[in-house]
Structure 1
Amino acid sequence: MENGPLPETREVLCEHLLAKVRYLNPALADQVTDMLVVNISNKEIIDLLTSDAFLEENVEKIVASISEPDSELRESLGMSLFQAVSVLESELCAQVTGMLLELPIPTVTRLLSDVEALKEAVNKARNEYLRFVKGGDHTTGVPSAPPVPLSNEKEELGEVIYEKIVSKYPSEAAKLTGMLLQMDYKDLVRVIAEPELLMKKVELAVSVLRAECENQS
C-alpha cells in the first residue's frame, strides 16, 4: 500500500503556528497567522513556535495594527463575541454584544480570550444599557454611544432567517439567527436575497458556535 505525498514542511509549520495562535487569540487566529507568516522563512516560523513569549509579542503587535476591521472580520468578531456573551447574558445578549463591538478591536479580541475581563465588560455594558433605556446617565464609558434594541425591520429579517435555517439546524437556529443579526441591516438584506451567501454566513456562524462549545467542554 502506497502512502500519499508528505505535506510540505512550511504547510506543517503553519498548521502548528495556527494552533498556537488560536490559543492566544481564537477570534483572529486565521488572519493573524496569515500576517505572521508572510515574507518570513521557515526558520523564523520555527522561532515563533519555540518561544511562547516571542510569539505572544508578535501576535499582540499584529492585533494592535488592526485599527479598523473589514466587514468580514467584523462579522467574525461579532459572531464570536455574541456566542461568548450569550453564556453570560442571555436576555440582553444582542444589545450587549453591539455595545462591546464598539470597543477597539484589540480590546475585543482580549475580551474573547479572557473570561474574567469579558464578565466585567458584560456587566458594565448591561448596566449602561439599562440606565440608557431608563433615561439615566452614562458614566461607565464602555461603549462610545449607547445602542438601541433591534429595530422592527431587523426583527422581521430575523424571523425570515430563522425560518430558512430551522429545518437544518433545529437546536441552534435561534442562536445562529442572533449571531447573524449582528450584521448591518443592508448586509442582512443582501444575504437573505442570495441563498448561497446566506448559507455561507450560516456555516461560518455554526463553525464559531461549535468551536466555542468545544472550548467550553
Structure 2
Amino acid sequence: MQKTNMSMDEEDFELVGEQLYNLIYPKHKESAGKLTGMLLELPLPVLSQMLQDEAMLTAAVEKALRALQVAHKSSEVTLRNEDDASASSDSLGEQLFELVDVYNTGHSQKITGMLLEQHKDAVLHLLSDPKLLEKHVNLALKTLKEQNVEEADVSDSSETDDTDKLGEKIFSLVVEMDPLHANDITGMLLEMDSPALQLLLSDHTMLRVAVQKAQAVLDT
C-alpha cells in the first residue's frame, strides 16, 4: 500500500513537471528544462497551486530565472576586482532573499542574512542549486527556532531579576525600621511570593507588621 502511494507521488510529480514545462516553454525555450527542474524542488501542493494561479507561476519562474542568470554570471563575478565584487553583494542579497522567500518560512529576512554570512562563492552556489538552498534554509530555520527557545529560557530567568529588584526595594524600607537586622528580615520576607511582596511595597502598614513578625522570630 505504501509503495502504491509512493508511485502515485512520483506520477504526480511527472505530470506536474510536464504541465509546468508546457507552460514555461513558450516564453523561455532555452531554459525551460532548468526552470522546470528548479520549480519541481518545491512541495507538490505549492506546484499544484502554481498550475492554477498564473500570477504565482509567473513570479516563481521569474525568481528561478534570475537565479539562473546570477549563476551564469558567477564566473564573471570571480574575475572582477574586489570593488566590483563588493558592489554586487547587494544584488546577490536581493536574489537570495527572493528565492528564500519562496519557502514561506516567515523568517526570510533573517535566514537571508544568515546565508549571506558565507563566502560569496558559497552564496552563488546556493543560488544555482535549489536543493542545496532548501537544505540551508531548513538548517537556518532550525537554528532560529533553537534561538527562540533560548530566548524563552532567558525570559524565564527574568522572574529572578524581578525578585532581586523587589528585594532591593524592600531592603531600603526595612533598613529604616530595623537597620541592625535589615538583611535577615529582608531575606525572610523574600521567601514570600512576588504578589505578596508587591502588596507589602504598596502598603507600608502591612510591611511594618511583617517586619515585626520577622523581628519576633529573630528574637526567639
TM over 0.5: same fold? Answer: no
TM-score normalised according to structure 1 size:
0.34
Instruction: Judging by fraction of residues, say which structure has more helix.
Output: 2
Bigger RCO (CA 8 Å, 6+ sep): 1
